[in-house]
Amino acid sequence: MAVNQLYLTPDDIQDKEYVDRKDKIIEECEELWKQMENYQQEIALAGGEGINHSDAKLTLLMMRLKSLTAECNQWLERTPNIIPLNPESLVALGKEELQKLGHDLEKLLSTVQSKNLKLQEDLRREQGWLDEQEELVTCLSEIYKDLKKTQEIPVNEKRMFLELKAKMTKIRRYREKLLTYLGEVLDKHFPLLEESGSKKRKRECQPNAQLMTVHEILELLINSLLHSPHDPYVKINDSFWPPYIELLLRSGIALRHQDDPSRIRLEAFHQ
């Protein structure tokens, strides 16, 4: 900062800004007036030719001249409010700007975190589908090797094998589509709980628990039923939100253990 600027008062700064803006507007008005005079001379020399085009330009220039004149009058009548240049005012303005920036960054962070959770869920689903396809390919490769070592497959058995393979592929695709639709419905109608309002009070009794969504609870029950059908029960912990458990029990989707009410299982609909 220059030495002479250290001793400028708010009135001096206001006068300097006002004079600079006024001079700039006056220069633009003079330049437009000169252009208008040149166009009038060209119209007088050209006679009747191009009158419409020149009149259009002249009209535009006159409208712009009126606009600049009105703006100049507004600046002449306006008394700008000068912010005091004391340290307290500057600190207050800085804090206000930082608070606005912090609020915007919090919104951005929340949006990015939601997108990351959605991407992680999609990645996990796609990874599970890929693992199933790899297992299917491995199984079919082993079957193909065993069949290749034996005698040639009759035509009718080969046709049955191809039909069975096509049905398995169709069933797996249908199953993946059903799981996708189920996930979309659960994510729409039973989203992850937010840390606000009554939901926040419901979690005060479990401050360190990461609550599970209905989608995750159902996935856990399904995996337990498929992987260990002899003992499909799942232990209820702090991650299970009680209203979600009550909803599954009342709708007949889940069942409690007869001897241990803290364990639940998925209803065996396939039996």
**Same-domain pairing of 28 and 53:** yes
**Same-domain pairing of 228 and 270:** yes
Domain end, chosen from 80, 97, 131, is at: 80
Q: What is the pLDDT of residue 51?
A: 47
d(Cα 42, Cα 26) in Å, to the nearest integer? 25
Element containing residue 230 per DSSP (H, E): none
**Average pLDDT over all residues of the chain:** 77
Give buried/exposed letters for 2-18 (b at 16+ CB in 10 A, else e): eeeeeeeeeeeeeeeee
pLDDT band at 196 (very low <50, low <70, confident <90, very high): very low
Tokens 């803290």 correspond to what residue? 262
d(Cα 102, Cα 107) in Å, to the nearest integer? 9
In a domain, 147, yes or no: no
DSSP string, 16-68: HHHHHHHHHHHHHHHHHHHHHHHHHHHHHHHTTTTHHHHHHHHHHHHHHHHHH
**Same-domain pairing of 206 and 249:** yes
d(Cα 236, Cα 121) in Å, to the nearest integer? 23
pLDDT at 198 over 50: no
Report which of 243, 240, 268, 241 is spatially closest to residue 254, judged by C-alpha positions.
268
β-pairing verdict for 254-256 and 234-235: unpaired
d(Cα 125, Cα 118) in Å, to the nearest integer? 11
Domain end, chosen from 144, 162, 189, is at: 189
pLDDT at 169 over 80: yes
In a domain, 1, yes or no: no
**Same-domain pairing of 209 and 167:** no
**Same-domain pairing of 182 and 247:** no
Highest mean pLDDT among 116-130, 137-151, 182-196: 116-130
Contact 209, 203 (CB under 8 A): yes
**Same-domain pairing of 218 and 265:** yes
pLDDT at 130 over 70: yes
In a domain, 110, yes or no: no
In percent, the amount of the chain with pLDDT more than 70 equals 76
Tens of pLDDT, residue by residue over 86-128, are 777 778 878 888 898 888 899 889 889 988 888 898 888 888 8
Q: What is the pLDDT of residue 164?
A: 87
In a domain, 130, yes or no: no
**Which segment of 138-142, 200-204, 244-248, 258-262 scores lowest on mean pLDDT?**
200-204
Tens of pLDDT, residue by residue over 37-87, are 787 777 767 654 444 556 777 888 888 888 888 888 777 776 656 566 677
pLDDT band at 217 (very low <50, low <70, confident <90, very high): confident
In a domain, 95, yes or no: no
Which residues form the domain of 171? 152-189
**Same-domain pairing of 203 and 265:** yes
pTM (predicted TM-score): 0.35
**Same-domain pairing of 203 and 268:** yes
In a domain, 266, yes or no: yes
Element containing residue 203 per DSSP (H, E): none
In a domain, 100, yes or no: no
d(Cα 203, Cα 173) in Å, to the nearest integer? 38
Number of domains the chain contains:
3
Q: What is the pLDDT of residue 206?
A: 52
In a domain, 123, yes or no: no
d(Cα 233, Cα 255) in Å, to the nearest integer? 9
In terms of pLDDT, which residue wins out, 264 or 66? 264
Q: What is the pLDDT of residue 233?
A: 92
Domain end, chosen from 25, 45, 80, is at: 80
